[in-house]
Chains A and B, each alone.
Chain A
Amino acid sequence: MSPQTDDRISRLIEEIVQDARPVRRLWPPAIRLSAWFVILLATTSVVVVAGLRPGVVQRLESAAFLGELVCLSAATGAAAWIALRAAIPGLESGFRRSLLVGSTVGGLGFVLSLVQTRFAAGIPLTDFVRTGIHCTLASIVIAVVPAWTLVWAVGRGVAYRPAWAGATGGLAASIWTYVLMQLRCRLDETAHVIVWHGGPLVAVTAASAALAVVIARARHARGTTL
């Protein structure tokens, strides 16, 4: 490099050094994931206390339902793990492979959940919407805290693709919300589950992606003191 460039780099290093205040180190992803699981557990407890559908215990004896629970729980954990690692440089490797494994397991969980539903023709549209809106609102309320905390945790790092990291975090929260809605909602109708339980999953994922981008931009703007 030319002497002028060397000089420019030296000046930049000096500015960076002068700007360097002590920083609080980010917790490792495993610890942050454990902390998030505590939040998930608290959310689950609130949902359980608020009331589950009748016959949940009998439902837990069904192999398909247990399979669904296991697959969706694994997908929740995988998505949260991917999101948290995506926010730390050098830990994003294996992102696509993990995403593939997570989506396969999650997809299997959704298929198992739909296998347990039945399609009911002839439901009046007003009834379909009235019962559905209730489930959608409940889903969003349940998902808000886990999704927000995970996206915030992702935003504490420096995700190279904040939208993807945020979306994966939102997906983790909304998959678990889907599970909780399966324990809460009395309707096992296919269209209801797909539209009103699956819809919020997509909405929360998209909103989390947007939120992660906003957080990343705000943090970047605050960090550009140089």
Chain B
Amino acid sequence: MALAQAGDHEAYRELLENLSASLSAFLRRRLFDPDEVADVLQETLMTLHRARHTYDPARPFEPWVFAIARHVLTDHVRRRARRGRVEVLADVELPDVSASEPAASEDLLLRALEQLPHGQREAFTMLKLEGLSVAAAAARAGVTHGALKVRAHRAYKALRALLARQ
């Protein structure tokens, strides 16, 4: 790490590759979903990179690394708990068009979906039709969790308005 702090790219690459294996094992013991493990591992590596100036070579390396991993993991678990609540609320708010006339309502929904901007349509499709988690959908769309949730929320609102009109 001391070499990485000095800007040695090769040493840094080797360190991160070695670390990703042990961090992945650490995270797998605490998270069950492999997508979540990958998300938290990525976030941990980025945080470690941003915090690399705080490492003191006079101190042991592992407590520093795993403290960062624990913080990222704790944040992730908290965000997931909050997101869970938001998603449940969003589900409740969604118009239940499929209950009465499944075929007709599906057609209505698809037509309404076509009118949405690409980002909103993609967010809705991944979360509601494909059943992906927010983390997985955000990774696939290449946006942050927050941005994906905003898109999904806008999609719900727009769909609700469109379906109410029809």
B42:A89 contact, CB within 8 angstroms:
no
Mask for B31-74, Cβ within 8 A of A = 1, else 0? 00011011001100111011111111111000111111001000
**Quick check: is A160 within 8 A (CB to CB) of the other chain?**
yes
List of A residues within 8 angstroms of B13 by Cβ: 13-14, 17
Stretch at the interface among B3-11, B102-110, B149-157: B3-11
List of A residues within 8 angstroms of B52 by Cβ: 20, 23
A26:B68 contact, CB within 8 angstroms:
no
List of A residues within 8 angstroms of B58 by Cβ: 28
**Quick check: is B24 within 8 A (CB to CB) of the other chain?**
yes
A17–B46 alpha-carbon span in the complex (Å)? 11
**Quick check: is A9 within 8 A (CB to CB) of the other chain?**
yes
**Quick check: is A146 within 8 A (CB to CB) of the other chain?**
no
B71:A22 contact, CB within 8 angstroms:
no
A5:B67 contact, CB within 8 angstroms:
no
Residue from B12, B41, B47 in contact with A20 in the complex, judged by beta carbons closer than 8 Å? B12
A13 in contact with B34 given A22-B7, A28-B58, A90-B67 (CB within 8 Å): no
A13:B54 contact, CB within 8 angstroms:
no
A17:B64 contact, CB within 8 angstroms:
no
A89 in contact with B54 given A8-B42, A22-B5, A160-B71 (CB within 8 Å): yes
List of B residues within 8 angstroms of A53 by Cβ: none
A28–B37 alpha-carbon span in the complex (Å)? 32
Interface centre among A9, A14, A18 (most CB of B within 10 A): A9
A20 in contact with B49 given A1-B38, A13-B16, A92-B67 (CB within 8 Å): yes
List of B residues within 8 angstroms of A223 by Cβ: 50
A17:B9 contact, CB within 8 angstroms:
yes
Interface of A: prevailing SS: loop
**Quick check: is A88 within 8 A (CB to CB) of the other chain?**
yes
List of B residues within 8 angstroms of A26 by Cβ: 53-54, 56
**Quick check: is B125 within 8 A (CB to CB) of the other chain?**
no
List of B residues within 8 angstroms of A18 by Cβ: 9
B12:A12 contact, CB within 8 angstroms:
no
Shortest Cβ gap from A57 to chain B (Å):
43
A8–B138 alpha-carbon span in the complex (Å)? 14
List of A residues within 8 angstroms of B57 by Cβ: 25
Residue from A1, A16, A90, A160 in contact with B64 in the complex, judged by beta carbons closer than 8 Å? A90
A42–B71 alpha-carbon span in the complex (Å)? 37
A contact set with B: CB distance below 8 Å = 1-2, 5, 8-9, 12-14, 16-26, 28, 87-90, 92, 157-158, 160, 220, 223-224, 226
B contact set with A: CB distance below 8 Å = 4-7, 9, 12-13, 16-17, 20, 24, 34-35, 37-38, 41-42, 45-47, 49-59, 63-68, 71, 139
26 A-B residue pairs with CB within 8 Å = A1-B24, A1-B37, A5-B34, A9-B38, A9-B41, A9-B42, A9-B45, A13-B13, A14-B13, A17-B12, A20-B49, A20-B52, A22-B5, A22-B6, A23-B52, A24-B53, A25-B5, A89-B65, A90-B59, A90-B67, A92-B67, A158-B51, A158-B54, A223-B50, A226-B46, A226-B49
Q: 10 closest A-B pairs (Cβ-Cβ)?
A: A22-B7, A90-B67, A89-B67, A90-B63, A23-B53, A158-B51, A223-B50, A90-B64, A5-B38, A160-B71
